[in-house]
C-alpha cells in the first residue's frame, strides 16, 4: 500500500506541470484568436472604414467566444475556474458586448486598462494589509514558496499591472481605428505585452527560489503568469 501511494506522487507532479501549460493556453488563447480573426477580415492597408469595423467586430466576437470557451474548458477539466480567469472573462464579455452593440472599438481597447487597474488595485490593497491576494486570484500553490514570497510577488505584480494599464492607454492613444492603426494595437498585445509579462515572471525566479520555491516548481511558475488581457 505504501509503495502504491509513493508511486502516485510523481504522476501528480507531472499532471500539475501539464496543467500549467494548459492554463497558459486558456489564458492567452482568446487574444491569439482575436488577432487571427481580425487579421483575416481586416482590409489591406486598413483604408476601408466599413471593412475595418467589420474586422473589429468579428475579432471581438471571436475574443468573447474564446474567453467563454476557456472558462468551460477549465470547468470541465479542473471542476473550477480561478477568480482571475473568471473576472477577466466577465470584463471581456462586458466590454466586448459594448463594442459589438455600439460598433465602437474604444470599448474593447479600454478593456485591458480596466482589467489591469482592477487587479493592480486589488493586489496592492491586499499587500498594504499584509495579504498575498495573488495566490487567491490565481488559485496557485507554487511548491515550497513561503508567505513572504507570495506577498512580494503580489506587490510586484500589483505595480506591474498599473504599469501595463498606463502602457495600454499610451498604445490606445496612438493606435486605434481613428488613425487606421487598430491592427497595430492588437499586434502589440501579442508581441509587446505578452513578452513583457513573461520577462517579468522570469525576473522573479531568483527571489522566489530564495523564498523557498522548489526547483521542480519553476516550470509551473513560468507557465502560470497572470494573463495580460
Residue 114 domain-assigned (yes or no)? yes
Q: What are the angstrom distances between the C-alpha of 101 and each of 5, 156, 170?
A: 55, 37, 25
Residue 227 domain-assigned (yes or no)? no
| Alpha-helical runs (H) found in the chain | 2-41, 49-78, 83-102, 106-128, 133-138, 147-174, 182-188, 194-203, 205-210, 218-222
Nearest Cα neighbor of 166 from 216, 113, 207 is 113
Residue 45 domain-assigned (yes or no)? yes
Lowest model confidence (mean pLDDT) among 48-57, 58-67, 128-137: 48-57
Half-sphere exposure of 112 (CA within 13 A, CB side): 27
3-state DSSP assignment of residue 143: coil
By CB atoms closer than 10 A (0-12, 13-18, 19+), residue 181 is middle
Residue 27 domain-assigned (yes or no)? yes
Provide the residue range defining the domain that includes 99: 2-222
Residue 181 domain-assigned (yes or no)? yes
Tell me how many domains the chain contains.
1
pLDDT tens, position by position, 186-227: 999 889 998 999 899 999 999 999 998 887 677 777 767 676
Residue 24 domain-assigned (yes or no)? yes
- What is the pLDDT, as a whole number, of residue 82? 84
Residue 7 domain-assigned (yes or no)? yes
Residue 229 domain-assigned (yes or no)? no
Amino acid at each position: 500500500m505504501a509503495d502504491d501511494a509513493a508511486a502516485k506522487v510523481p504522476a501528480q507532479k507531472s499532471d500539475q506541470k501539464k496543467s500549467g501549460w494548459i492554463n497558459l493556453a486558456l489564458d492567452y488563447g482568446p487574444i491569439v484568436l482575436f488577432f487571427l480573426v481580425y487579421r483575416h477580415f481586416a482590409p489591406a492597408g486598413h483604408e476601408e472604414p466599413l471593412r475595418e469595423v467589420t474586422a473589429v467586430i468579428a475579432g471581438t466576437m471571436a475574443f468573447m467566444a474564446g474567453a467563454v470557451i476557456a472558462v468551460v474548458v477549465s470547468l470541465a477539466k479542473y471542476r473550477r475556474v480561478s477568480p482571475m480567469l473568471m473576472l477577466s472573462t466577465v470584463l471581456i464579455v462586458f466590454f466586448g458586448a459594448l463594442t459589438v452593440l455600439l460598433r465602437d472599438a474604444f470599448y474593447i481597447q479600454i478593456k485591458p486598462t480596466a482589467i489591469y487597474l482592477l487587479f493592480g488595485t486589488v493586489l496592492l490593497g491586499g499587500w498594504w494589509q499584509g495579504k498575498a491576494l495573488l495566490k487567491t486570484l490565481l488559485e496557485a500553490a507554487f511548491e515550497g514558496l513561503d508567505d513572504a514570497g507570495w506577498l512580494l510577488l503580489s506587490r510586484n505584480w500589483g505595480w506591474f499591472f498599473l504599469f501595463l494599464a498606463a502602457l495600454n492607454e499610451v498604445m490606445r492613444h496612438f493606435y486605434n481605428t481613428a488613425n487606421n492603426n487598430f491592427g497595430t494595437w492588437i499586434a502589440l498585445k501579442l508581441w509587446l505585452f505578452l513578452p513583457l509579462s513573461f520577462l517579468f515572471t522570469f525576473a522573479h525566479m531568483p527571489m522566489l527560489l530564495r523564498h523557498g520555491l522548489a526547483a521542480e516548481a519553476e516550470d509551473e511558475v513560468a507557465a502560470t503568469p497572470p494573463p495580460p488581457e
